Structure formats: structure tokens, C-alpha cells
Amino acid sequence: MSDPLWIRGGHVIDPANDRDEESDVFAMEGAIVDNLSEEDLSSAQVIDAAGKIVCPGFVDLHAHFREPGQSHKETIGTGSRAAAAGGYTTVVIMPDVTPPADNAGVIQYILDAVAKNGQINVLPTGCMTQERVGENLAPIGSLKQAGVVAITDSPSSPQNNEIMRRTLEYAGMFDLLILDQCRDSSLTEAAAMHEGPTSLRLGLQGSPRVAEDLLVSRATLLSSLTGSRVHLQSISSGSAVDIIRKAKSRGVKVSAEVTPHHLTLIDEAISTYDTRYKINPPLREESDRQALIEGLLDGTIDCVATDHEPHVDYEKDVEFDQAPFGVIGLETALPVCLETLVRRDAAELTDLIRFLSTNPAGILGLDKGTLSLGADADITIFDPDETWRVESDSLESLSANSPWLGEELQGRVTHAVVDGRIVYGSRD
């Protein structure tokens, strides 16, 4: 049980309660309370938040922690520390571990590792299909009983339409959310980047937008048919945004996310063949980037997720078309989004917190993403003006494959609180 917590003098932003004010925040026994007794105040953990933003802890619906099987890239422990440093108090991790999380035994291993080394709320997902190969359904009921919060084959998607339909039907029976990273593999074989003028100039095989659009369309149609919920991961295509917008207008039970790197970067960043920019789905064109921002602001896209995907240096230090896809993003998401969305006047700070916290918590139905009385005391505190340089030796992640490595960013998390416990930063 945690000590009482007193966060003093911060600027509190809580979108769920339309709260935007200078105020104190209190927690007791892991929950938000309206005040503390004099006795509890005298023994409380105290955080001086003057000049800082106090908000609900960030929730990431899409991250890869690599354990078991690839612990040289990331572990439950290092991933959760990286998350806390980025203000994330809850992270949903993908099942692409070794062996894949397609059975109760692997899920139990992950939960045991979380209990031992996880500093934040780390929520496992299970596979849609056995071994993530898209041929036979995984035991969805057993996975739900084992403790998964959603099912997915991320970073891939079953290519067989019948398998996808049956997955949605069974998931609906267990009220499990489907996380779908939409990509038609027949159109992306050997692709290293977005298909367009830049790929032609660089001589690299391209991945067309339609590879994403086709499976986004499939997901919305099958969701409408089955009535099951689908969350679309890492949307990168401007035309996919239009498909999602139309589906939502018809009442289809679909939600969507976008990553900080797709909101910020475009395919021209690859002009130097820097493998840190090799991402799946790929960075696309400026028109796509603008459409993603517009979709986020009008509610077509519901939230921001990092798709934190660690790789060690030697894996990325190869020719571009030989390098694995993926970037890390937990520790840089906040400043990148502050710059792209808030400082460039696209969104208000309260909107950004909604995208990072309130909305993703709502998609999973978690008692998170709010500072309401009685809610879980998961809290993030950050200084929007503090500048810092992204250096490999200062990151909590085991890997350093960040597009912003060596760059100076503005905005930094000072504290992360989980269940009323300070897991990042210090008490005063």
C-alpha cells in the first residue's frame, strides 16, 4: 500500500472532467481523493509541481517489450522504466515475442515478469492466430481467461478474410478488443519505404497506400458485419483516414491510433538512407501527414500510440533494405507531440492529454485517463518548457533506435505516479 500523496501547486489538466486550473492533487491507498487529513498530510509523499502540468497518466495501446525471447532489445523492466520516463503509466504490449503469446503459458510468463520487474501497468495482448502466422485461430477464450486485454497479430494481420471474420466473431463473444495493424502483405513484399517519388529517386522498393487502405476497409466491413470492436493501429495513409471517417459516420465500432513519428516525419527523411527512419507502416508524404493531423483533430483518429519497437544498434547498422522496421518512442512521444500539435497551433494542451491518456483508456474501458475522485492514482507531471537532448546513454530503453537521437527536444516528464506510488522522479 502506498503512502498518501500530495502533488502541490501544479497546473491540473483533466479532460475527462473539463478541468484546467491551478490546484493540488491528492491520493490515498492508490486512488484519487479530494483531500488528506492533517495526519496524512504530515506523512505524505510531496511533489512540488509549481510551473508544471499535472494530468492523468498516459496510456499507450501499442508497444513491443520483446520479453520473452528478445531481451537483448528490451525487457519488461527496461520497457516499463522507459515508459515511466515518458509519462506512461499504462502500456499495452504486443504478442510478437518468442515464443508468440498464443497460449496461457506465455501469458503467465509475461504476467510473472510484470509482477517482478514492471514499475507501471503492463497489460499483455494475445495472438489472433496460432504462432501469428494467420492460419488457425488462437484459443481466444483461454487467452482471455489468462489475462489478456485484447488480441492481435501485430505487427502483422491475418491475410485470410475468413480467418479475420471468425476472429472478430469469437472476440466479440468474449468482449475482447481486436487490435489490427492493417497491411496487405502481397503488396508490400520486399518493400522498404513508402511507394512514391522519393522511393523512385532512392531506388528502394515501395509500399503503396493501398496496402493499408485495403485492410482498413476490410476491418471496417467485418466489424460492421460481426458487431465486434476493432482498433486500427498505426494509421499512416491519408486515404485510410477517409475510410475510417466514413465508417464511423455509419456507426461502425472502430477506433484508430496514429504514432508521433507519422504525425511529424515524412518519407523525405529517408533521403540519407538512415535506417532510424525505416518504419512499418512507412513514413509517407506531406499530404498524408496533414490528413493524419486533421483526422486526429476531428475525432476520426482517437488517440496517439507510440508503436515502441526496440532494435539494438547492430541490427540497424546495415544497408537500408536489410534493416528491420521500427523505432522507439516511449520517452520522446510527449515533446514530439507538443511540438507538432501544440506549438504549431494545431491543438490545445488539453487535446493532447486527451489523445495520450483519456481516449486510449476509454478504448480499453480502463479506470485510467482521469483524475476523478476514486479513480486509480495514475498521474503524469511534466514541464512543457524544459529542453533536453536525446542521447543513447540517457535513455531508459535498452535500445536507441530513435529518429530523434542527438536532437534537442522541448518538454520533459518530471514524475510518473502509478497507484499513488512515485515510479519516476523524486519526492520533495
Give yes or no for a cis peptide into 68 (omega within 30° of 0).
yes
Which of these is catalytic: 153, 307, 376, 419?
A: 307
Number of Cβ within 10 Å of residue 77's Cβ equals 20
pLDDT computed for residue 1 by the predictor: 59
First-to-last C-alpha distance (Å) of the chain: 20
Q: How many angstroms separate the CA atoms of 293 and 324, rounded?
A: 27
Instruction: Give 242-251 pLDDT, tens digit per residue.
Output: 999 999 999 9
- Structural domains of the chain, with CATH: 5-53+376-396+403-424 (2.30.40.10), 57-364 (3.20.20.140)
Q: Is 372 exposed, middle or buried (0-12, 13-18, 19+ CB in 10 A)?
A: middle
pLDDT computed for residue 345 by the predictor: 84
- pLDDT tens for the chain, 428 residues long, are 578 999 999 999 999 999 999 999 999 999 999 999 999 999 999 999 999 999 999 999 999 999 999 999 999 999 999 999 999 999 999 999 999 999 999 999 999 999 999 999 999 999 999 999 999 999 999 999 999 999 999 999 999 999 999 999 999 999 999 999 999 999 999 999 999 999 999 999 999 999 999 999 999 999 999 999 999 999 999 999 999 999 999 999 999 999 999 999 999 999 999 999 999 999 999 999 999 999 999 999 999 999 999 999 999 999 999 999 999 999 999 999 999 999 998 899 999 999 999 999 999 999 999 999 999 999 999 999 999 999 999 999 999 999 999 999 999 999 999 999 999 998 76
Q: Is 301 exposed, middle or buried (0-12, 13-18, 19+ CB in 10 A)?
A: buried
Q: Is 153 a catalytic residue?
A: no
Q: How many angstroms separate the CA atoms of 290 and 285, rounded?
A: 9
Q: How many angstroms separate the CA atoms of 117 and 113, rounded?
A: 6
pLDDT computed for residue 2 by the predictor: 78
| DSSP code for 300 | S
Q: How many angstroms separate the CA atoms of 87 and 400, rounded?
A: 18
**Shortest CA distance to 307 belongs to which of 285, 279, 286?**
279
Number of Cβ within 10 Å of residue 348's Cβ equals 14
Instruction: Give 219-270 pLDDT, tens digit per residue.
Output: 999 999 999 999 999 999 999 999 999 999 999 999 999 999 999 999 999 9
Q: Give the CB-side neighbour count of residue 394, counting CA atoms within 13 A.
A: 12
